[in-house]
Structure 1
Amino acid sequence: MRARIVVGAVPGALSWYLRLSGVVSILAWLSADWIERLLDIWVLRWIGYFGWLPSMPWGVLLVLLSSGVRRRKRAAWRITLVLLALFFGLSVLVLIAGAAGAETGLGLGDWAAAGGYGLALVLLVAARGEFGALGGRANLRLALGVFAALLVVSGLLGTTLVRLTDRDPGGGAWTQPVYVVLQTILGAGATGGTVDVAVPGWVDLILGVLGSGLLLVTVWALFRPGRRAAVLTPGEELTARRLLASYGEDDSLGYFALRRDKDLLVAPNGRAALAYRVQGSVSLASGDPLGDPEAWGAAIEAWLEDCRAHSWTPGAVSVGERAAVEYRRHGLNVLELGDEAIVDVAGFNLGGREMRQVRQAVRRVERAGYTVRIRRHAQIPAAEMAAIGERADQWREGETERGFSMALGRLGDPTDGRCVMVEAFDGDGRLRGLLSFVPWGRSGLSLDLMRRDRGAENGLNEFMVAKLVEGAATVGVRRVSLNFAMLRSVFERGSQIGAGPAVRLAYGVLSFMSRFWQLESLYLSNAKYHPEWVPRYVCFAHAGGGLMSLGLAYARAEGFLPSLSRRRLDRAANAAPSPELVAGIREIDAAADRARAPRRRLSEQERVRHAKLDRIRAAGVEPYPSASRAPTWSRASAPGTGRRRRAPAPAAPPRWRAASCGPASTAG
């Protein structure tokens, strides 16, 4: 057990060692005097035994190598193994030279350096199983291509600069390219005296920067995290919809897993799945896993294993409480992100003093002659839906369609027929605002899109929400999920009397940020309905700057920060479904409706008869063979009687007579 713990700590310890060596190398390249002063301090003399050189390219290489080691890249393990073997070999040569009677005697540090490098080499070999992250041939091809291209560019540029500025006439034509290579690799540690080259200091600086850039881009290409196109395939979408049809009541954000710019990872048992997108070096999951909550753990474990295999940092956003507990059980940290506003249709009422603000807004819009129409997307003709989409795009604030965890990213798709559209018209019949909701199971709705004409009557959004709740029975809805309020508890407690200094400070910071992003306004717009607040969480990894990496990836995914893959993601999100996919989804919805249709409760006598039929079928006998006929009746010709006389039934076939019971007994 202890050996396993030591081996498991090798990647982290080695990453720190390489990082410190790289920093020392860069500092020594910038100022040799500064590093010498540090070495004069007795406590810091251990710095001299790091594998550093006064070179910017070398320092950059070690820093980038430390990142690859931290990500447990197999290529980083190989490069580090070569470097440690080189350091160990040099240390052994120093010991041999000292033992042979060299002028410089051996110190304790020399023995410690050799022993340390030897021990590190042994531990690195023992920990080779810890470095299992897939590098990918694409990364290797990219790194080789970048290195070759930059080597040619930096070589030509550097040689030209040296040739134009060389003041030493003693060197030949071959000395200048050699000096460029030495200066590019070693930096200030190389001098031109040995190759008869004399150039100004600014030329050496440019050559060092070129060498650093060469290594920086090459090592980045080699150690970058694996890429995966975020595309929800038709098979994955059908799987997700089957899970939603069975377990869609559990999460109000479950339908947003059907965005086509997400991936889906299915648990090995097939009973749960997890929707995510690889955003840079972060595998970003959103919402709760789909499917049976008892199988969520298997889906999360498969996702984490996928992250380890590709050196991705795991993170999940907008997670419910039950899923957050499951993520925490699998080793992720959990922080509260905010609260989701959920309105119970049965308990919603515009009466009372606390609802006065909403009630006044609704009455004002009604007096202006506004009306509302509520219908499913499947009831809207295609041409009319296209016109609605155009108006929604016109009313959108900004050119970027934001959303990832709480937005579907499309409108009018034929696979979204169960979505609900709320349209508001003014007195002249013009469309002035709309709300679009996605299904939350079979009896709920979750807000997807909210758009309005800026010139419309004030309070239009409140009017549409109130009318939807009022007419919820027409679409079979019992609960409605509205907007999400980030860090709601800070806004709620910070504005109250008696709030502590920490809460007030956080409230002040968030109020300032609300000038640029809709933070406090979203909380206030939801709070007026007096909803039930349901917390949502973020889950992130312990190491590797998990929370910061998650925050940046989340901001790019939601559209708050620019992303180079935005156009590609938009194309994937708005991809048209195939007719086969549409037909498959309709079959899933029809099967779900049949499964939820109410069934008549059988009486005791009927249950006994059905059980007897099951026993007959289990014995291999058909209870109602096709040759049998129902009993027939004939009216007797006796005068004065209107009674019916049963006609003799035809003889049953021999197979039927051999059964243990006849048709009369089977019918009960």
Structure 2
Amino acid sequence: MTVDNRITNKRQWVWRFLFVAFIWLVVTQFAEIEKLILTAMSGHVGWLILAVVFQFAYYSLYSNVFRLAMCMLGVYLPWRIMLPSTFASMFVNVVAPLGGASGVAVFVDQAIQRKQSPARTAAGAMLALISDFTAFSLILVTGLTYLFYYKDLRVYEVIAAALLLLLTIGMTLILLLGLWQPNLLRRLLEWAHRFIALLFEWFKRPSPLKSDWVEKTFDDFVGIGLAIRSKPKNLLKIFLISFTAYTMDLISLWMIFRAFGQDVHFGILVAGFSMGILFWVITITPQGIGVVEGMMALVYTSLGIPANIATVIALTFRGLTFWLPFFLGFIFLQALPTFRGESRTEVRDWSVRLAALLTALVGIVNMISAVIPPTTWRVLLLENVLSTETYYGFYIITALTGFTLLMLADGLWRRKQTAWRLTLIFLALSTVSNLLKGLDYEEAFLAIALGIWLVFLKPNFHARSVYPPLQQGVRVLLAALGYICLYGIAGFYLLDTHFAVNYGLMEATAQIVKMFTSFQNPGLQALTPFGRYFSSSIYIVTGLVLVFVLIMLIRPLIIRAPASEKERERARRIIETAGESAMANYALLDDKLYHFTPGGSVAAYVVKGRAALVYGDPIGERKNFSAALASFLALCRKKRWSPIFFQIRPDYLKEYEKAGLEVLTIGDEMVLDLKDWETDDHNAPGEVFRRLKSAGYSTHLHRPPLDRALLDDLQVISDEWLAFMHIMEKRFSQGWFEPGYIQNTHVLTAIDPKNRVVGFASLLLSARTGEIGVDLLRHFQDVEPGIREFLLVSAILWARDQRYERINFGFTVGGRMQSLYEANGAIRYIAKHLDEVFSSRDILPHLRKIPVRALPRYMAFPPGCARRAALALVRSDAGDEFIEDYLKDMWRRAWAARHLR
């Protein structure tokens, strides 16, 4: 196993440990979390929102303290990394309490990945903590003085303050040891090096510290001391920012007092705040869990704040300053570059799977909640607003959303974007129905929290829906029957006091079976109004669920079926013998239908609304083109479709015009004649290729069929690329990553010096035309710059070695954009869409100084059908996403009409 693989495996285990620790902590502290939520809900919403805003201001300043401290010591981490890293470090400090060292490791790992000094990073984090503790000491002295003046100062509070002072002095001495006592520092480092070597030798393992570790660390610490001594003004700046951050924290606490209608003297505010933060730092429990709340409430109570108000304020402040950052830290940890490559992908996989499982859990919670009667005091509040029948109706909606969320969980597991969107909608519906059926804020909070997390996970849901097979409807039917049975059994079991029969589990099962198999009275004797409602709800829920199942069963009959394998194989033979370009292979993608003409030609098309959109020209012998075009136009007249041809070549423009179609120039295909390519040319891609080659990068060409392991590696790269680009797979006019499609293509992989596949290019081959087309071009983000050029030049060299004549880099709008944008609304909309679709794969910027030829491509459609052509193209490429894009475009145009008159 390589060093890189060992590091990856270690990070995978670290992530697994952190994930399990997160679940364990949430489960064990669930009662406290619920208490915090209930407490916060009783406060004034406006003041609480302001308190949250000031908390975010505090953490923004706090993360800036770390950034400036590290910059002072020569470690430069970008701002976009520092705030997530700060939250992530807080999360890690809680689940892996090692005296703050585990949180510092988050920053150190970011520095290592950017090839910066880990020792200086750790020292920068320590300097930030010293500044933080020093700024807090001013507030602490004020609080201690107030407590002393009012004779409320305890011995343990003084001892805790002394420990904080000793901790601050100790960290300062460690930082400046290289400046004051270099010989002592060297001896300590040598002793540590020997001790760790002996310790690992005892376990028969090599020492993790290299032989030059002592010298490098010693030089770093000496440099740290010199940097601190030479920049006193920077120290003052860091201290002032730390003090400002604590001011934001204090203002946030004061706003919490206002939220609960409690006036507070400045001295009392500072005294309770300083004691809470002091024991947060000093206590041996992770981040003061179970200690800070009690200490703050005790101090405020002793200073005259009513005990119940003091407890409420302490709990709310703890929720905003600890639990909210804790959950944000768990979310941000997954977004950090710490989990790159396989490990980062594992994080994303686990995130997607956990989101799917939690969606299913919310569905089950909704099902159970829908059979539990509301609490009396909540019913009394609701009856002032809603009738009994209305909130019973929301019970049924809750049961139905439970079933729907269970069905959607399967789509989330498979990264379906449509499932992601529908899940957000039904989580919102679940929130409303739970609140209106009985003020069940617990279930509503669970749905809201999951919805917020899913919004963060949006880039991971990029898979398209496929043609629904009949088996899917059968699976939904079985799932529906199971859900209905569970709903009925759970209701009878939990509501046995609402019926004349005391239902156990077996009796509840027998009763639900009897209800659906007997045509006579099932013998139900409800004793309460809710019992009577539940009896009726079983039939209502069953009927509505079965309607949904019926729709799923007839979907394959309603939705137009894809081409059969026999038709696709017939089209493949025609394309291989008559295709004019390597890009003609796009006609074989599984979204296409085929029209075969009597003369042996084929038109590959999709139907969107009342438009038939053809990819390219009808393919066949040139002498049969007129007849092939006429045959397809006759089909469109028969079906009442508008024929639209996309990316047609200039060879047959007169035939389209003769057929009465308008022709629009939309872009170019970029083609390189391999005889014009010279590796000795000093062009930019060639220079990048030579640089990466000398750095140890290489490529390998894989011929179809690809093995499963390679497909898994390519899937990892593709998923990360899509997530980074914040796009989903497009269809129709370009390839997309689908294992069945990729498995049968030639794939060129880029391999880094650690023998890891970091990028790939899928190639389309046309032996007839002597042309190779570059299809998908994707890679990891944490690789050496220029990996795209490296893959392109490697593809060019391979094509030339295989004696191909040309390489086709695909379609680009390029210089045609300006003229398209100057056209009317529908044409401008086509231009905007083409720019968005092809910009993510546009390789024109990477072809600088390469002698490519631009071959014009056109679009043909009936006169007056430009708008229909635009919508058909958008729907074909973007699928369901076209609705969102269209609404965004309407909003932009409305805004422009108002503000740019």
**Coarse TM-score class (shorter-chain normalised):** 0.3 to 0.5
**TM-score with structure 1 setting the length:** 0.44
More helix by share: 2
More strand by share: 1
Larger RCO of the pair (alpha carbons < 8 Å, separation 6+) = 1
If you compute each CA radius of gyration, which structure gives the higher value, 1 or 2?
A: 1
